[in-house]
Homo-oligomer: A and B are copies of this chain.
Amino acid sequence: MPILVQKYGGTSVGSIDRIKNVAQRIIEKKLEGNKMVVVVSAMAKTTDQLLDIAYQLSKRPPKRELDMLLSTGEQTSIALLSIALNELGHEAISFTGPQVGIKTTGIHTKSRISEIDGTRIQNALNEDKIVIVAGFQGINENDDITTLGRGGSDTTAVALAASLNAECQIFTDVDGIYSVDPRLYPKAKKLDTICYEEMLEMASLGAGVMHTRAIELGEKYNVPIYVSSSINNKKGTMIKESDNMMEGPAITGMAINNDEAMISLNHVPHNIEFIASIFDALAKKSINIDMISQTSPKNNQVSISFTLPKEDLLEGKEILNSYIHQYPEIHLTVHKEITKLSVVGIGMRSQSGVAAQMFMLLAEENIPIHMVTTSEIKISYVIQPEDQQKAIQKIAETFDL
């Protein structure tokens, strides 16, 4: 009998009725002839409520104790789902991450799975039980409870699927992966498939459906991941290996990010050590710089622009000011409201001219571009927020997204 790993997110188990509904869906799949392993997250809002209490007690709660606290959320969910399944006449058994040997490594609240010992799960499956596993958590080399960071339940599910050689289905509050966020472009198409690399770029650009590490893990162990809705039965999206189509579409999806700001520095002395020291100072404060562009030198001066998370803008400006005061000629401009628009597609590898075509499309709409960066399968543009809707419309229609 094949093993099927399903994962249900916090919204899917957010109430008594939803838990009952999830139990029904699991039983259907079992009756179709699958051995069922189900990963669940904490009930919606639980994690935030627990964090809120912790931060009322301390501005900097020890991360080990946060893990102890947060892991109770998933433990509650698994027990309740197991109770619901047993009530419906199907024997189920719940396990915490530590109980099924999900070994982790790395710092608390951001641990990584190092190893899974599936023996207890296999034994329970052989006794014809439905196995419910707490997502998001594991146990480290000190026998301490650890968590995997936000969205870590996805990672748990994919890791279990890899270790059990099983299929993996992620049920969430959206019904699949769309080429463009449907809230921004209602005509967006749902994708039947997307390859790991494209999905990774989309996820890191803020298409928040899936945890990035889960996709990396899927890619590493070649576990196809099916993403769909836990509420309806619409067809979802399969994340899998690229099928290396020579003539695939150039662009698979578009992602919009409004959470970044842009800082421009003009009349910067063309001194590579000085420029490096600025970015080093920002990095040391864990400010995550995304796009960077630098003009070629003119009168031994350059212009530099880069984007950073809006929440780090204040701190970033302070750091910069402490550096540039030695060069009074440097002029600092902040663009707090920008739109980062990115297109992603594995087809870019084989099809040239996508960047040029994008420039053309934006020019046709009179949309000024403030910055551009490109990678192998992604191009990102910084434009003004007021041009965002026009740009989405034009690009989505042209590339049939």
A residues whose Cβ falls under 8 Å from a Cβ of B: 16, 19-20, 50, 53-54, 56-62, 64-66, 68-69, 71-72, 75-76, 78-80, 82-84, 86-87, 93-94, 96, 99, 120, 143-145
Return chain B residues, CB-CB under 8 Å to A58: 83-84, 86-87
Return chain B residues, CB-CB under 8 Å to A71: 75
A83 to B71, CA, bound (A): 15
Return chain B residues, CB-CB under 8 Å to A72: 72, 75-76, 79
User: Are B99 and A83 in touch, CB under 8 angstroms?
Assistant: no
> Among A72, A83, A94, which residue has the most Cβ atoms of chain B within 10 A?
A83
User: Are A80 and B62 in touch, CB under 8 angstroms?
Assistant: no
Which chain B residue lies CB-closest to A67?
B79
CB-based closest 5 A-B pairs: A69-B79, A58-B87, A72-B72, A68-B79, A61-B83
> Among A20, A60, A96, which residue has the most Cβ atoms of chain B within 10 A?
A96
Return chain B residues, CB-CB under 8 Å to A94: 65, 68
Which chain B residue lies CB-closest to A62?
B86
Return chain B residues, CB-CB under 8 Å to A82: 62, 65, 68
Return chain B residues, CB-CB under 8 Å to A65: 79, 82-83, 86, 94
Return chain B residues, CB-CB under 8 Å to A96: 68, 145
User: Are A57 and B76 in touch, CB under 8 angstroms?
Assistant: no
Q: In the complex, given contacts A19-B57, A58-B87, A61-B86, what are 18 additional A-B residue pairs having Cβ atoms less than 8 angstroms apart?
A: A16-B53, A50-B76, A57-B80, A57-B83, A57-B87, A60-B87, A61-B83, A61-B87, A64-B93, A66-B79, A68-B75, A68-B96, A69-B76, A69-B79, A69-B80, A71-B75, A72-B79, A75-B75
A41 to B92, CA, bound (A): 28
A86 to B65, CA, bound (A): 10
Return chain B residues, CB-CB under 8 Å to A144: 99
Which chain B residue lies CB-closest to A60?
B87
Selected A-B contacts with CB under 8 Å, 19 pairs: A16-B53, A16-B56, A16-B57, A19-B57, A53-B80, A54-B80, A57-B80, A58-B84, A58-B87, A62-B82, A65-B79, A66-B79, A68-B94, A68-B96, A69-B79, A69-B83, A72-B79, A99-B143, A99-B144
Return chain B residues, CB-CB under 8 Å to A59: 87
Return chain B residues, CB-CB under 8 Å to A57: 16, 19-20, 80, 83-84, 87
A57 to B92, CA, bound (A): 14
A285 to B157, CA, bound (A): 45
Return chain B residues, CB-CB under 8 Å to A16: 53, 56-57
Which chain B residue lies CB-closest to A91?
B62
A82 to B144, CA, bound (A): 14
Return chain B residues, CB-CB under 8 Å to A145: 96
Return chain B residues, CB-CB under 8 Å to A60: 87
Which chain B residue lies CB-closest to A73?
B72
A99 to B57, CA, bound (A): 24
State the Cβ distance, A178 to closest chain B Cβ, in Å. 34
A332 to B223, CA, bound (A): 71
Return chain B residues, CB-CB under 8 Å to A80: 53-54, 57, 69
State the Cβ distance, A204 to closest chain B Cβ, in Å. 31
> Among A61, A68, A86, which residue has the most Cβ atoms of chain B within 10 A?
A68
Which chain B residue lies CB-closest to A78?
B68
Return chain B residues, CB-CB under 8 Å to A19: 57
State the Cβ distance, A256 to closest chain B Cβ, in Å. 38
Return chain B residues, CB-CB under 8 Å to A120: 143
A144 to B99, CA, bound (A): 8
Return chain B residues, CB-CB under 8 Å to A69: 75-76, 79-80, 83
A68 to B79, CA, bound (A): 6
A53 to B15, CA, bound (A): 10
